[in-house]
Amino acid sequence: MGKRDDLIAQYADDLKNKCGMTPDMELLTKVTIGCGPSIYDADASTVAATQDHELETVKNNFLVKKLGLADGPQLMDAINAVIETYGRSERNKYRAVVYYMLVKHFGKESVYR
């Protein structure tokens, strides 16, 4: 297995054990690939949930640009709900896991099909 496969397995484990979700492995793989090389960078691979500018970046670059959602307070509400599900005290909130949960939250799986 390659490094990406190892990371996808780690993300699936987080979804099962930290978020209480059974991951759709095909979708998780596509979301992970969509994150590009950032998954290999220690800083970029995680979401700093305590930094407002980081959450704004997730909202603008992922929810609005990638998923095509209209900007509004419901986007930040969804990001915060996902962070709560992941666990605010969880040190490493992987970007691919957060993005996967946001795709599921908004029912935007079609973006990756």
- Tokens 């099909």 sit at which residue? 113
Structural domain containing residue 95: 3-112
DSSP 8-state class, residue 98: H
Q: What is the pTM of this model?
A: 0.96
**CATH assignment at residue 40:** 1.10.238.120
Q: What is the mean pLDDT of each run of 10 residues along the chain (113 residues)?
A: 94 98 98 97 95 96 98 97 95 96 98 93
Do 97 and 19 contact (CB within 8 A), yes or no? yes
**Structural domains counted in the chain:** 1
Q: How far are the Cα atoms of 5, 12, 57, 71 from residue 60, in angstroms, in the given order?
A: 28, 25, 5, 8
Six-digit token string for 36: 């590009």
pLDDT in tens, 69-79: 999 999 999 99
Half-sphere exposure at residue 80, Cβ-oriented, CA atoms within 13 angstroms: 6
pLDDT in tens, 45-54: 999 999 999 9
